[in-house]
Structure 1
Amino acid sequence: MNKTYCPSLTEYKRRVARVVNIGDLPLGGNYPIRVQSMTTVDTMDTLGSVEQTLRMVEAGCEYVRITAPSMKEAQNLLEIKKELRKRGCTVPLIADIHFTPNAAELAARIVEKVRVNPGNYADKKKFEEIEYTDTTYAAEVDRIRERFRPLVKICKQYGTAMRIGTNHGSLSDRILSRYGDTPLGMVESALEFLRLCEEENYYDVVLSMKASNTQVMVQAYRLLVQKLDEEGLQPYPLHLGVTEAGEAEDGRIKSAVGIGTLLEDGLGDTVRVSLTEAPEAEAPVAKMLIDRYTHRAAAAQPFAPLVGEEPINPFQYFRRVTHEVANLGGQNVPRVITDLSRLPNLEYADLRAAGQLYSPFLDKFQMSDLGADYIYTGQRPAPFMLPNGLKEIVDYAAWRDAGHRADHFPVFTQAEYAVTAVRHPELNFVFQNLASLTAPALDQLRADGTAVVILYTDNAHAMPEIRRAFFELMNAGVTCPVVINRQYPALSPEETQLYAATDGGGLLLDGLGDGIVLSTELLPERPKQEWLNTLDGLNQLSFGILQAARTRMSKTEYISCPSCGRTLFDLQETTAMIRKRTDHLKGVKIGIMGCIVNGPGEMADADYGYVGVGKGKISLYRGQEVIKKSVPEEAAVDELIELMREDGRWIEKEVVEEPVGA
């Protein structure tokens, strides 16, 4: 099987894409990775769209996308463009098209780029299962060719670029009938349109493979690159994005897991971070992700190529096979370790940083939904009994000196592990990096049924080096569980959030990792409260990464679109309202979509959906099936909760006493 999908697995090399001119701002080649976003104002509001576009450009947006759901909005793009140019703003504009080829053909004469979705541009989407023969399938492709060709010719004539943007949730019934709801279906949907472009000798094309599920999104982009190479097609530029990522921390983590994983492999020429927030909030996040790679090639340390074939399939998720050690590995969910080793004078209340909330009134702990499985205390073991269920990892010397306490588990350096015979009978952690995984070390790990590796790196190009270390373990037949350890210098909270989500999430998407531990460096003289806030944030971040990578669900997941001119209600306000009522429903996935375009398809794997279908009207879904139509907006959240109650998935929110230190 051809697994080639990136320029290099062992050093940072950006894929060199074909250059596509979008206005006077080229994309691809050796040009910088570009930032784009999308307006949320009604396209018919010319001044509102202009003012918002100017704010987006000020925030760092280099391309601005505007929805054109009908001919009147497409025509009004001209007025928006005139006013922007009048104000001295030359940002390239992109028309976003769904369902309306005539609007696309008009917009292509006005703006610098059009985005079309193969799933609904000229194809059918009725959520029907249709059996196609090769003949009837080919006839449908011919029909699409005739409907799509006029747009291609107009784009070629006017020098307008095009993005063929496949969305996981809006694959046509025809594609689903042949390829299923898969990354391959996404790729083939785009390639059908791309081949039609090449038939017309039109090459100013950008491609995207967006999904809300980060596993599907990453696999689809990788497979797309592999298929382009395999068919001898042009190396078209890639627009990266996780669609319907959500808001706040969850939206940023989810975006970084998907987008960052691909950037690590050198893929991507433009980025859009889709947040349920004002669009000017998106560009700084995208830029922060991109800036990490500006000097990556110079800062990274190349490492030796793998001998033999890589032991994973980059286009399909399989979790690495491991044996169970205590509650790690095997069929267990990935575990979270909170690093408290730098925290001086550990007290009861400090365990809130590990999700353990202490009530002095009741003199007991209550574990939150984000309660860590282990704490690492290094050379200073906790001077008190830990709450039930929480386990402690200490440095080998401290474990030895404490008299091998049953609730303590040692962590060894590789040098200690190689020569020490005295170990815990059930569970022993070992710090390892790629360099320390020598043949003797691999032999020792393979023979030890109690070992768990804590895998780290100091390489700026961290994720690929850790992945390479996993490959060494797998090819050597070592099946012990592995915890991913990432340590960061004193970065801003936003940088730590995005970098950790990229490094850890990228590995988890490949099925690598049985746990995660995040550490950061803070100055020792910092107040203890700052330390606790930082550690609490890292603990929450760890759980957020596991959830975004779809490997451990610990809270409600919101698949919410970022809003646009099609949106039929205030997405930010509505999302906040739904979150307030439902954020205690652990593991439930709720889709919140502003219109039917981003409706049942875009929330493809949501358990429930809340979709705008008209002014003040909401349809409620169970999965992709509409259950209640045209519910008045003021009653829709109550009706959503009632639907969950009928399914036995609703639980009342508990009132918890405010703990010390909160």
Structure 2
Amino acid sequence: MTTASASKIYCPSLTQYQRRLSREVKIGDLPMGGLNPIRVQSMTTVDTMDTLGSVEQTLRMVEAGCEYVRITAPSVKEAQNLLEIKKELRKRGCSVPLIADIHFTPNAAELAARIVEKVRVNPGNYADKKKFDVIDYTDSSYAAEVERIRERFRPLVQICKQYGTAMRIGTNHGSLSDRILSRYGDTPLGMVESALEFLRLCEEENYYDVVLSMKASNTQVMVQAYRLLVQKLDEEGLQPYPLHLGVTEAGEAEDGRIKSAVGIGTLLEDGLGDTVRVSLTEAPEAEAPVAKALIDRYTTRAAEARPIKPLVVSSQLSVGSEKAAQNNLATNNEQLTTKQIPIDPFQYFRRYTREVQNLGGQNVPRVMVDISRLSAVEYADLRAVGHLYSAFLDKFQMNDLGADYVYSGQRPVPFMLPNGLKEVVDYSAWVDGGARADHYPVLTAAEYAGSGAKHAELNFVFQTLDSLTPAALDQLRQDTTAVLILRTDNAHAMPEIRRAFFELLNEGITNPVIIQRQYPELTPEQTQLYAATDVGGLLLDGLGDGVILSTELLPERPKEEWLQTLDQLNQLSFGILQAARTRMSKTEYISCPSCGRTLFDLQETTAMIRKRTDHLKGVKIGIMGCIVNGPGEMADADYGYVGVGKGKIALYRGQEVIKKAVPEEQAVDQLIELMREDGKWIEPVTLEEPVGV
């Protein structure tokens, strides 16, 4: 479905770090947007009626770095108790602004707006309907329904204006109303229009203390929706409202952090975002440090980044919207006001490439692991790149997280590799080794430009934006064996590599590209978040046919530590590809971060379901604590596990409820049985003997 957008401009600049200048919104004593820092926030998980429990958890969250704290208010009684929570917090010297989270209940929102500093409403279920009905609206009946909703929403706007209370209009991909779905479908445009209906009324009432969000568990949808929102605000001449960034139901542990970084980090790279909430199925205190780590990367980005040469495109490309030149989006981005960028930032299209071996074309993106720092490689060492050797069977066993390529540099592996794993060596080592057909050389840009021998089928070439000269581009255009490895040492890394992709697109170069990122002297946690941002942001735009991550500038370490690092980088690479929805290699858990509405222990339940199902490849399981975060928020999950009452679970196939009120102690077994009925269940396989030599 088309986005119906004339302009592709959605951020201040695609080639320099420049934060979007949004309207400042007062939230208590801590303003958001404008020139203020990007704020950190999270949400309590304690029952809102537990006043002391909510207070104690809020204090822990503030200590962990939260600048705003959100508390659910599903009914009037919880909204009323927000006053007691606020009194106790102020009594203890805590002035953190409080945000009431409202679903379905306008009366609760109107009460909460008189108590707390901000209310959050979801347009999909605030006076609108979500019953999974398809309705054929006429223009007049649609307009009448919009007006009904506006009249129900107007009192809240007037109360917020009177009390100086801020508001977040927060659209969620999974809870779009039947009305929006009937007209716009399950699309980013539907998400944006859902919010704009409410926003237009706010502006009619001269109420501007508004923050906007476009959350989804699907990172592609989430990023496209935020971009389209910014473009639509500009197109309609609306205020540049602050943006609240978040990926809903990101999950737990490494997967949750990677998924959050792919979505949130991609937008931060383009200067979008005024507050961040990382949604993990963990204690809320664990969320703030992750959000802060993502934000802190941009504190000095503008000063540290090297200039990236401006975008120059062919004259035959269509001209973009001129209107953006008249407002703040394009004031420092002149090259984009008259030139069309060669991708659609609001819809996913993978860059067309020719197929070279198993790279490019219709192949999934490939994973390459750099093992060149190992002084020697043994059979068991390949466990670190996902290939498991069994001495008992004397063979390697297939693994869904097994790397596709290893880069061994000057030290070729001294034994035959398992089927499916290919080896890449330095060009000089390839020549000295007799130009073996089962080894693939990687050449520097200078070596590639030379007249030396090349592999007949596959040659990798290190390239940077600066090395993509007209001569290099012409050589690549004619070479059906070349695969680029794009890299940069610019602090503004993702935009520079994206700029290189734009060069390839505008010049009609269709060679596959592997994205390389190196992270010297970073902690594993930083590497995880930075790589997910840098590589994931490109993959979301359909750019990239593979990934190689390395820490090659780290000092020498014992072999076991190196193997542990390689294992982490290999798993991280697959995790990024999965989070960007470009290669599904393991089970995906779409689990909400818990809140006061949750009807079971989300962390314990998620761990239990993961233990039973994490061997299933590419199956998506939604684990939702309550019906508010139920079938809608699971959006594109294959199966759902949703709390519907104390000790009672509803099981879903997609968004269709299959079993209602299943006793909690039987629910996981019945979920597995449902998968078995659908032919999706595979019994877990264990090795006959521990891996080793």
TM-score (norm 2): 0.95
Question: Partner amino acid for 1:95?
Answer: A
Contact (CA 8 Å) 2:391, 2:692: kept in 1 or not?
Answer: no
Closer/same/farther in 2, CA of residues 45 and 661 from structure 1, 3 Å limit? farther
1:59 is aligned, of 60, 64, 81, to 64
Aligned-pair CA distance for 1:523: 4.1
**Could you say which residue in structure 2 is the equivalent of 1:565?**
596
After alignment, is 138-147 or 542-551 more displaced? 138-147
Matched, 1:118 2:123: yes
Aligned-pair CA distance for 1:524: 4.0
**Could you say which residue in structure 2 is the equivalent of 1:298?**
303
Question: Partner amino acid for 2:220?
Answer: Q
**Could you say which residue in structure 2 is the equivalent of 1:451?**
482
**Could you say which residue in structure 2 is the equivalent of 1:246?**
251
RMSD, aligned CA: 0.9
**Could you say which residue in structure 2 is the equivalent of 1:648?**
679
Aligned-pair CA distance for 1:460: 0.4
**Could you say which residue in structure 1 is the equivalent of 2:441?**
410
Q: How many Å separate the matches in 1 of 2:213 and 2:690?
A: 46
Aligned-pair CA distance for 1:400: 0.7
**Could you say which residue in structure 2 is the equivalent of 1:378?**
409
Where do 1:194-593 residues align within 5 Å? 194-308=199-313, 309-521=340-552, 523-593=554-624
Question: Partner amino acid for 1:422?
Answer: A
**Could you say which residue in structure 2 is the equivalent of 1:73?**
78
Q: How many Å separate the matches in 2 of 1:556 and 1:334?
A: 18
Q: How many Å separate the matches in 1 of 2:229 and 2:307?
A: 26
Secondary structure in 2 matching 1:393: strand
Secondary structure in 1 matching 2:85: helix
C-alpha deviations, 1:306-353, integer Å up to 9, x for none?
A: 113211000000000001000000000000001101111122111111
Closer/same/farther in 2, CA of residues 124 and 317 from structure 1, 3 Å limit? same
Contact (CA 8 Å) 1:352, 1:661: kept in 2 or not?
Answer: no
Secondary structure in 2 matching 1:20: coil
C-alpha deviations, 1:93-118, integer Å up to 9, x for none?
A: 00000000000000000000000000
Q: How many Å separate the matches in 2 of 1:661 and 1:258?
A: 38
Secondary structure in 1 matching 2:26: strand
Q: How many Å separate the matches in 2 of 1:345 and 1:392?
A: 15
Matched, 1:183 2:188: yes
Q: How many Å separate the matches in 2 of 1:295 and 1:144?
A: 44
Q: How many Å separate the matches in 1 of 2:437 and 2:677?
A: 46
Q: How many Å separate the matches in 1 of 2:446 and 2:60?
A: 55
Q: How many Å separate the matches in 2 of 1:275 and 1:605?
A: 18
Secondary structure in 1 matching 2:367: strand
2:21 is aligned, of 10, 16, 32, to 16
Contact (CA 8 Å) 1:612, 1:619: kept in 2 or not?
Answer: yes
Q: How many Å separate the matches in 1 of 2:348 and 2:420?
A: 30
Closer/same/farther in 2, CA of residues 293 and 523 from structure 1, 3 Å limit? closer
C-alpha deviations, 1:113-152, integer Å up to 9, x for none?
A: 0000000001011100001111011101110111000000
Aligned-pair CA distance for 1:362: 2.5
2:133 is aligned, of 108, 128, 131, to 128
Contact (CA 8 Å) 1:618, 1:633: kept in 2 or not?
Answer: yes
Contact (CA 8 Å) 2:390, 2:692: kept in 1 or not?
Answer: no
After alignment, is 359-368 or 167-176 more displaced? 359-368
Contact (CA 8 Å) 2:74, 2:597: kept in 1 or not?
Answer: yes
**Could you say which residue in structure 1 is the equivalent of 2:667?**
636
C-alpha deviations, 1:69-116, integer Å up to 9, x for none?
A: 000000000000000000000000000000000000000000000000
Contact (CA 8 Å) 1:490, 1:521: kept in 2 or not?
Answer: no
Q: How many Å separate the matches in 1 of 2:689 and 2:75?
A: 52
Closer/same/farther in 2, CA of residues 661 and 30 from structure 1, 3 Å limit? farther
After alignment, is 415-424 or 293-302 more displaced? 415-424
After alignment, is 92-101 or 413-422 more displaced? 413-422
C-alpha deviations, 1:504-526, integer Å up to 9, x for none?
A: 00000000000000001354431
Aligned-pair CA distance for 1:661: 6.2
Contact (CA 8 Å) 2:45, 2:596: kept in 1 or not?
Answer: yes
Contact (CA 8 Å) 2:219, 2:262: kept in 1 or not?
Answer: yes
Contact (CA 8 Å) 1:253, 1:498: kept in 2 or not?
Answer: yes
C-alpha deviations, 1:265-287, integer Å up to 9, x for none?
A: 00000000000000000000000
**Could you say which residue in structure 1 is the equivalent of 2:323?**
none
Secondary structure in 1 matching 2:364: coil
Contact (CA 8 Å) 2:392, 2:689: kept in 1 or not?
Answer: no
Q: How many Å separate the matches in 1 of 2:353 and 2:147?
A: 49
The answer for unaligned runs of 5 or more in structure 2 is 1-5, 314-339
Identity %: 86
Q: How many Å separate the matches in 2 of 1:519 and 1:659?
A: 28
Q: Segments of 4+ in structure 1 off by > 3 A? A: 521-525, 657-662
Aligned-pair CA distance for 1:657: 4.1
Aligned-pair CA distance for 1:27: 0.2
Question: Partner amino acid for 2:629?
Answer: N
Q: How many Å separate the matches in 1 of 2:263 and 2:444?
A: 32
Contact (CA 8 Å) 1:410, 1:424: kept in 2 or not?
Answer: yes
Contact (CA 8 Å) 2:169, 2:198: kept in 1 or not?
Answer: yes
Contact (CA 8 Å) 2:404, 2:420: kept in 1 or not?
Answer: yes
Matched, 1:607 2:638: yes
Contact (CA 8 Å) 2:650, 2:661: kept in 1 or not?
Answer: yes
Aligned-pair CA distance for 1:360: 2.3
Q: How many Å separate the matches in 1 of 2:618 and 2:531?
A: 22
Aligned-pair CA distance for 1:359: 1.9
Q: How many Å separate the matches in 1 of 2:677 and 2:388?
A: 33
TM-score (norm 1): 0.99
Q: How many Å separate the matches in 1 of 2:38 and 2:277?
A: 11
Q: How many Å separate the matches in 2 of 1:332 and 1:533?
A: 28
Question: Partner amino acid for 2:443?
Answer: F
Q: How many Å separate the matches in 2 of 1:275 and 1:298?
A: 32
Q: How many Å separate the matches in 2 of 1:445 and 1:518?
A: 24
2:656 is aligned, of 592, 615, 625, to 625
**Could you say which residue in structure 2 is the equivalent of 1:169?**
174
Q: How many Å separate the matches in 2 of 1:453 and 1:612?
A: 48
After alignment, is 46-55 or 399-408 more displaced? 399-408
C-alpha deviations, 1:426-456, integer Å up to 9, x for none?
A: 1000000000000000000000000000000
Q: How many Å separate the matches in 1 of 2:357 and 2:67?
A: 51
Question: Partner amino acid for 1:117?
Answer: N
C-alpha deviations, 1:582-637, integer Å up to 9, x for none?
A: 00110000000000111110001000000000000100000000000010100000
Closer/same/farther in 2, CA of residues 292 and 403 from structure 1, 3 Å limit? same
Question: Partner amino acid for 2:279?
Answer: S
Q: How many Å separate the matches in 1 of 2:687 and 2:587?
A: 18
Q: How many Å separate the matches in 1 of 2:210 and 2:374?
A: 53
1:28 is aligned, of 33, 45, 50, to 33
The answer for unaligned runs of 5 or more in structure 1 is none
Contact (CA 8 Å) 1:522, 1:531: kept in 2 or not?
Answer: no
Question: Partner amino acid for 2:20?
Answer: R
Aligned length: 662
